[in-house]
Amino acid sequence: MKNAIEVNELTKRFGKITAVDHISFEVNRGEIFGFLGPNGAGKTTTIRMLSGLSRPSGGKASILGLNINSEITGIKKHIGVVPEVSNLYDELSARDNLVFMAQLYGVPSKERSKRAEELLKTFRLHERKDDLFRTFSRGMKRALTIAAALIHNPEILFLDEPTVGLDVVAACSLRNLIRNLHQQGITIFLTTHYLEEADLLCDRVAILVKGRILAIDTPETLKVKTNKKSLEEVFIKITGLEPTVMVIEKGK
Ligand SMILES: Nc1ncnc2c1ncn2[C@@H]1O[C@H](COP(=O)(O)OP(=O)(O)OP(=O)(O)O)[C@@H](O)[C@H]1O
Ligand SMILES: [Mg+2]
């Protein structure tokens, strides 16, 4: 069986800046893969290339065996993307946002309402389904944005910094949600700069700095290899960066 994601020497340049610099990795089916790195490391740029929103300057990548340069329409059926900033509409209700997304993703019209209702229940937003998106709390907005990305039952979910800006309780409930999706067999590619979160959630992690991958492995193996107790200490050892550079809140 093919890997969920295969990336080979993928590169993105913006003028003189090389945002993503010849990265190569694989994501196995069903795993939670964490992409860790400080601000500006190239995490979002990588997700944008893998989901067809940005064209690579070089290298290759495939999703479920489909080429990101030539088969993106096919790929979009199998992936859900939760961007850093929500892509939902402030002036639509929670339910209408989901139904609209269902339409965009080609869910048959008869199934749209049912699927929206199901997701509202799973994400515990059913009671607020008729409220406008703009009236939601940050955590509720994040949850609905994830629900929307799952409307077409994708096999792979990309989550770009899912817990940034959430309080401890909301972040914890979102992590549980991510674990549930994992248990359902969904492959999860998530970016984060919270090392503890990555340690709690991820089967494997890649450490990205200035567009380059410095290490890839399970959190446990990285700890053993570097003789460190936490992923934070591993990160400091591997990158030479202090973790303070990892936790700049972006207020999103
Ligand atoms: N559209 C663009 N035009 C020019 N430069 C860009 C563009 N998008 C990203 N970059 C640059 O690419 C680099 C990587 O940015 P990217 O957004 O991928 O980082 P990131 O790891 O997601 O960071 P953060 O943790 O802050 O979200 C940065 O130097 C950024 O300025
Ligand atoms: Mg980013």
> Is 41 close to ligand 1, i.e. is its CB under 6 Å away?
yes
83 CA distance to ligand 2 middle (Å)? 9
Burial of 39 per CB tally in 10 Å (0-12, 13-18, 19+): exposed
What is the Cα–Cα distance from 19 to 57, expressed in whole angstroms? Answer: 10
Task: Tell me which residues of the chain have a pLDDT lower than 50.
Answer: 248-252
| CB of 37 sitting under 6 A from ligand 1 | yes
Q: pLDDT tens across 19-56, in order?
A: 999 999 999 999 999 999 989 999 999 999 999 999 99
CB-ligand 1 contact for 55 (6 Å cutoff): no
pLDDT for the residue 249: 45
User: Hey, what domains does the chain have and what are their CATH numbers?
Assistant: 1-78+155-252 (3.40.50.300), 87-153 (no CATH)
Kindly state if the Cβ of 48 falls inside 6 Å of ligand 1: no
Ligand 1 atom nearest to 46, measured from its CA: 18
Determine the pLDDT at residue 169: 85
Q: pTM of whole model > 0.85?
A: yes
Closest atom of ligand 1 to CA, residue 47: 18
CA distance 109 to 117: 14
